[in-house]
Amino acid sequence: MNKLKTIFILSILFLSVNILFAQKQKDLRINELFLNNVDNLADEYGRHVPWVEIFNSSYNNVNISECYLTNDTTGLAAGVPTSRWYRIPKGDPKTVIPQRSFLIFYLDNMPTYGVFHTNFNPMDSNSTNYVALISSNGRTLIDFFPYKSSLRTATHSYGYQFDFGNKNLDGEIENELSELKYFTPGSQNYPEPMATKSEEISKKDKYGLGLTVISMVVVFAALFLIFVILKLFARMSNKPNPRLKLHSAQKKAKKEEVKNEEKQVSPLVDNGEELAAISMALHYHLNAAHDQESEVITIETPSAHYSPWSQKHFTVKGSPKRR
């Protein structure tokens, strides 16, 4: 029984860890792709091959190891990888993508060259026009990145103008793929400096009147809200409690009952005898006659210098009779 319980707990923990891990992997996005790499980014061997950029859109570190990169999703429904599914090996610390950071993979069909070299090449004649990122369970499609066949001869990269999910210059979320103005492997897709929020506000509100009005409205709205909350609390505190009201009513009824009982008790009728007795007692107490003492102690010397208390004839009550 204990063994089954242990197995059950371990299974729950394993599933929880997998679910949490999968949720983090869902934040990964294919952000930029360049196929016709003639003189652009070179790999660690100095070769110019197609490359793809993975972007971690979350604010947590995400480990991309054991995920799949592929350009063939035919086995996705059954969860059966094909020969063109590249499973990213685990154990390399570089596969952990920091928050809001990027990672480059080379699509050169040379997986023996290292962890970041896939087993397919989109420049092949039989290749499809997309790149897909699949989770480690082999069944969940994390991201699907389609492109036109003309990208194989284009001299520009292709991806999200302001990185996936980032805001463009108009403050809108940018999630549309397009031709990119710059090659930015391993960095943000729009390297030009952008105006900060304060700079944008200063352009729209030169003298700060709008900001002042908004600030005052926010402050007074907050004060009014606090006033309303305090008013409600005051009403709730002043509202009589039904239990206390019932208790006070019971207490009042009990007092009325005691008063009625006191009224029902007949008062004592005085017939004069008690008053006469009390008066007589007071008279004797206050006017009683006492002997006048001289307050002088007289000591007489006895005629006999022996104690008469021990004489036998004083102890005899009567003379004995002779027969």
pLDDT, tens digit, 9 for 90 and up, residues 68-110: 999 999 888 888 888 899 999 999 999 999 999 999 999 999 9
DSSP string, 34-63: E---SSS---TTS----EEEEEE-SSS-EE
Q: Is the pLDDT of residue 22 over 50?
A: no
- Can you tell me the mean pLDDT for 50-61? 94
* The pLDDT value given to residue 158: 95
On whether the CB atoms of residues 121 and 96 are closer than 8 A, the answer is no
* The pLDDT value given to residue 292: 59
Is 295 or 43 the better-scoring residue by pLDDT? 43
- How do residues 208-247 score in pLDDT, each as one tens digit? 788 788 889 999 999 999 999 998 888 877 766 666 666 6
* The pLDDT value given to residue 6: 61
On whether the CB atoms of residues 69 and 130 are closer than 8 A, the answer is no
Most confident of 231-235, 246-250, 293-297: 231-235
- What residues contact residue 147 under an 8 Å CB cut-off, 6+ apart? 33, 35, 129, 130, 131, 158, 177
* The pLDDT value given to residue 207: 77
pLDDT > 70 in the chain, percent = 72
- Classify residue 51 by burial, with Cβ atoms within 10 Å: 0-12, 13-18, 19+: buried
* The pLDDT value given to residue 229: 92
On whether the CB atoms of residues 99 and 58 are closer than 8 A, the answer is yes
**Polymer length of the chain:** 323
Categorise residue 101: left if φ over 0, alpha if ψ from -120 to 50, beta otherwise: beta
Using pLDDT thresholds of 50, 70 and 90, give the confidence band for residue 170: low
Q: What angle do CA 237, 243, 247 make, to 5 degrees?
A: 120
144 HSE (CA, 13 A, CB side): 8
Distance, in Å, from the CA atom of 283 to the CA atom of 294, rounded to the nearest integer, reads 26
Is 131 or 168 the better-scoring residue by pLDDT? 131
- How do residues 144-158 score in pLDDT, each as one tens digit? 999 999 999 999 999
Lowest mean pLDDT, pick from 41-50, 109-118, 158-167, 233-242: 233-242
Using pLDDT thresholds of 50, 70 and 90, give the confidence band for residue 61: very high
Q: Is the pLDDT of residue 249 over 90?
A: no
Lowest mean pLDDT, pick from 19-23, 131-135, 318-322: 19-23
Is 165 or 178 the better-scoring residue by pLDDT? 178
* The pLDDT value given to residue 114: 95
Residue type, 159: G
- Can you tell me the mean pLDDT for 124-141? 93
Lowest mean pLDDT, pick from 83-87, 123-127, 129-133, 198-202: 198-202
* The pLDDT value given to residue 236: 79
Is 35 or 17 the better-scoring residue by pLDDT? 35
- Can you tell me the mean pLDDT for 159-185? 80
